[in-house]
A = this chain, B = another copy of it.
């Protein structure tokens, strides 16, 4: 099924690209300004194709994976509604270019179906070293937990959205994260004895597998030099899909560790995002058309920080470096989980 998704996306992207171009939804590649390549009209918002194919696959999945009276179905359908709503709002954003403060609101709205339907536990287990401070081993959060879910969804969508700007970076990072999520789920199913927890991880696999394959197909088009841009549609969709997977699979802490580069990028960006320091429209490095190299600017995002630390390089090299960093973060996360299991929780 997921393999079909891969092939369908490969087929549909060029078709959709033609329609988007005709409708005037394109942008020029700013990181290639000054080259002939920088004058090509690159169609935008191709995330819409991935989103729709993903939804169709995930919907059909239900038929094979659940019995008709499974209580998981509520959450599954709520998850689909959330992801679908997010794609809709992301696409509206791409088409209409809504202002920044509305952008922050969009994931909040889209996460509503999930929050309303979430019926799982709202308690968190306190890490063992801290138990003595809290006095209890399990803390019941109630509505606060739903607030946490909401914040997680808003964070995931926006953090992917601002860790972007290079050919292939948006899709590359989500592919790596979702692969890590998949591996994590498989490992947990193998090691866990608890049937409830196994179900949660299986559930999470159903949602993340088609996401991984459809994104891979988009990656083929979005890799340097990009023949399509993914648009806010994709970054929102990806963030929401991963947040949903983490929440319903009950491993949101681990998910946040997978998001380490995005967290760092967000922290570096805080001064600019909250307007302590002036922030340009795009925080991209300077491109030199003669050498084809990028130079880091003073903007506080990971793209420019990497350029400042590791020196000037081409867009392709920079993207590879950032993706390696992403992969290392995920490995670090696995190692951390391995080390602290038993001691921490």
Selected from B24, B25, B73, B84, the residue in CB contact (under 8 A) with A74 is B73
Max chain B Cβ within 10 angstroms of own Cβ: one of A52, A56, A74: A74
Q: Which residues of B contact A313 (CB under 8 A)?
A: none
How far is B52's CA from A81's CA once the two chains are assembled, in angstroms?
12
Q: Contact flags (1/0) for A1-37 with B, using CB distance below 8 Å? A: 0000000000000001001101111000000000000
CA distance A78 to B85 in the complex (A): 13
Q: A23-B97, A74-B74, A85-B84 are in contact. Are A62 and B116 (CB under 8 A)?
A: yes
List of B residues within 8 angstroms of A60 by Cβ: 112, 116
Q: Does A68 contact B (CB under 8 A)?
A: yes
Which of A88-96, A154-162, A164-172 faces chain B? A88-96
Complex Cα gap A81–B58 (Å): 12
Known contacts A16-B96, A48-B92, A77-B81, then 19 further A-B pairs from the complex at CB < 8 Å, ordered by chain A residue: A19-B97, A19-B98, A23-B95, A24-B24, A25-B95, A52-B89, A52-B109, A59-B81, A59-B113, A59-B116, A60-B112, A69-B71, A73-B74, A73-B117, A77-B117, A80-B81, A81-B84, A88-B91, A91-B92
Query: How many A residues, CB 8 Å from partner?
Result: 41
CB distance from A84 to the nearest CB of B (A): 5
A282 sits at the interface (CB 8 A) = no
User: A247 at the A/B interface (Cβ < 8 Å)?
Assistant: no
Q: Given A74-B73, A91-B92, are A63 and B23 also a contact pair (CB < 8 Å)? A: no
Q: Which residues of B contact A63 (CB under 8 A)?
A: 116
CB A174 to nearest CB in B, in angstroms, measures 20
* 12 examples of A-B residue contacts, CB within 8 angstroms: A19-B98, A52-B88, A52-B89, A55-B85, A59-B112, A62-B116, A73-B74, A77-B78, A80-B81, A84-B88, A88-B91, A91-B91
A87 at the interface (CB under 8 A from B): yes
Residue of B nearest to A55 (CB): B85
Contact A23:B96 (CB < 8 A) given known A55-B85, A59-B113, A59-B116: yes
List B contacts of A25 (CB < 8 A).
Answer: 95
Nearest-CB distance from A111 to chain B (Å)?
10
Chain B: minimal CB distance from A28 (Å):
18
Contact of A19 with B96 in the complex, beta carbons under 8 Å? yes
Whether a CB of chain B sits under 8 angstroms from the CB of A123 is no
Q: What chain B residues lie within 8 Å of A87 (beta carbons)?
A: 88
Give min CB distance, A21 to chain B, whole Å.
10
Task: Name the CB-closest residue of B to A25.
Answer: B95
Cβ–Cβ contact A113 & B77, under 8 A: yes
Residues of B within 8 A of A324 (CB): none
- Identity of the chain B residue whose Cβ is nearest the Cβ of A99 in the assembled complex: B19
